[in-house]
Structure 1
Amino acid sequence: MLKLILGNKAYSSWSMRGWLAVKASGLDFEELVVPLYNDTWDERREGDEFAPSSGKVPLLWHDETVVWDSLAIIEYCADLTSREHYWPEDLAARAMARSMAAEMHSGFSALRRECPMNVRRNVPTPDLSDEAVADINRVLTLWAQARARHGSGGPFLFGGWSAVDMMYAPVVTRFLTWSIPVPPFARQYMSDVLRHPHVAQWIDAAQDEPWVIEQFEGGKGTA
């Protein structure tokens, strides 16, 4: 049985990526949402269940197997089921998709810091640093290149829904929350991502969460 431990759906971008990965597998799984930064957070993350990831989420247990980190969860689910659920079949497209996923995994720190994920808000565009603007432009460039080179088979970056869309889905929500201006092709892509049933299910569930983290409500953070 798969068990996925998550942070708040309203705020946790990495949890969203891990959840989308497991959801794409088609396998049944139990999910446990552990509120980030509440009174019991420090105590909870020191428990045995969190030990392999040093208290970070998402964390996937599969019987005695444990996987943490969103990209690792994507790869584990691909190995467990079918890589066709996660990566393009074409070699060149797959190479580009993996490169984009890896860049998302390791980069864009200014965008993360200045536009924290919060799928329950929509606010006017803030004053952003040059570094955050550069991150946004880089994301848009990657999206444009993927769509132009490999996106003819469907509405997503590489045509069909894939791991790279899962990795960038929280960026879509950030752009929406912080009213980031985007060109028409990106606006259409964002709309298609938000309509994907898995993304819509995640966002709907976030609306019912009772927890509020003030640092992600009115200012900058790193969720």
Structure 2
Amino acid sequence: MTIKRVLVAIYMVLLIISMIVIFVQFKENQRYERYISAKLSQSLSDFLTAVLVSEETLHQYMNSGKKEMLPNQATSLCYNFKSIGTEYEELLQTAKSLKKVNDVQTDQITANAAQDIHFFLARQLIGNGVLGDCTPPKSTLTLNEKQFEKIKGIYEISKQWSAIAKNLVPEATPNGVKNANWDFVVNDIVWVQLLKDYSAYANESGMTGTNQFFN
């Protein structure tokens, strides 16, 4: 009888320990999910805003009918394409770490293309000596024919990127993402599909993402 009581006591202690471990793990998973959701929300917001601001800036420039680009336009484009590349890379690596996508479904082309455009704007258009430096030019930029043709090509890409963003997150605007249901946006249906759509466009358009503009 004593042995049975000891065994029951041991069983109860083990059961309590197991419940404590499960509870601690549950709370840890909750904290991790909140961290991931907050990180995704910020990256998505920054990415979508940069995409839409770039498209709007290029739209204004192309509609001006001039080859002169204002310093603030050049700087805005430079910083925003840099942000597009950085945030897309962050989203892609998060998706792969969580095993939401694989290399067949998504690729680096979009991030590489944004970085390529960023380098073109910083080094060749603005004319800063340091690769990637978006420091504003001192005066209005007069584009030569080759630069203007590249800007036209960048605008076409930007319009497609903007269309994908607006389709999946209608609440996104050049002023930021307001009134969005982030619980819905950061689920697999939206942010993973966003990566897949950008990758699909990159492949369908023949975009290489490497030295397409910065050469």
| TM bin (shorter chain) | under 0.3
Greater fraction of residues in strand: 1
For the pair shown, which has the larger CA radius of gyration, 1 or 2? 2
Could you state the TM-score of these two structures normalised by the residue count of structure 1?
0.27
Greater fraction of residues in helix: 2
